[in-house]
Amino acid sequence: MDAVNDAANHTAEPVPGAGSAGAAGDSDHPTGHRLFPRVTSFRSRRGAISATQEASWDRMWPVIGRDVSDDKLDADAWFGRPAPLIIEIGCGTGTATAAMAQAEPQFNLIGIEVYRPGLAQLVQRVEREGIDNIRLLRGDAVDVLENMIAPESLTGVRVFFPDPWPKARHHKRRLLQPATLSLIASRLKPGGVLHVATDHADYAEWIAEVGKGESQFIGMNEATGGDPEAYRENAPIGFERPITKFERKGLSAGSAITEFIWGKIES
């Protein structure tokens, strides 16, 4: 099933000159390009950008977009206001991203994605609909979290339908590893929320086990061993997310969606 954001995989167009090997194959990505690390949690993928999308990109990207770097992010300055900050990892073409931003104007929302054609669709929608609480970072999410996001600065992190990398030899490419959850936890404020969704049964089992091993988290819904009604009212972000037409197709075909919601323990 396609992801809630119309791109089930954390995708990236191939780097020119990279040859045929890449994240989608058995060998590691051959380049050292910052946007495309050797071992990735996303697949190589081509996509076209229309002339109108390119024009929108040229106008909007300098304002709402940045590439991954070592520069620490000053989110309040970038958005032009102080507000609770939520990061969405793998925002794809941004269908859900835009819907959540419009439904939650009280939050500053940053989408992280490597796939430029997908980002271009979201950039065009941001411009067309005048969505002013979205910013975009292009690069690998782990790189962004490690080098751009300050500890205990995030109110929420969302990871909807990450690539499951179903083959055992590719499990090392899965985004949600123990080290990644620890990194996410370190970037969340005490009381902050991590919300994950997957439609892949094996990956759901993997995520459940990884989550159990993260001592900084407490379960806030059934899949994480918690009672959502005990947390929903006072949680800093909502537990709901929009469902796109692609997810509805999967649900109609019998796909089961597993949602994981953890909160960072408050000391």
Q: Which one, of 64, 96, 66, lies nearest residue 80 by Cα?
A: 64
* 173 vs 203: CA distance, rounded Å: 12
* 135 vs 17: CA distance, rounded Å: 30
* 214 vs 264: CA distance, rounded Å: 10
User: SS3 for 131?
Assistant: coil
Q: What is the CA radius of gyration of the chain?
A: 17
Query: Active site residue: 2, 140, 143, 163, which one?
Result: 163
Per the CB < 8 A criterion, the answer to whether 121 and 53 are in contact is: yes
Q: Name beta bridge partners: 109.
A: 86, 134
Give, for 135, the enclosing helix (H) or strand (E). Answer: strand 134-138
Is 163 considered catalytic here?
Answer: yes
The full DSSP string for 153-198 is -EEEEEEES-----SGGGGGG-S--HHHHHHHHHHEEEEEEEEEEE
Catalytic residues: 163
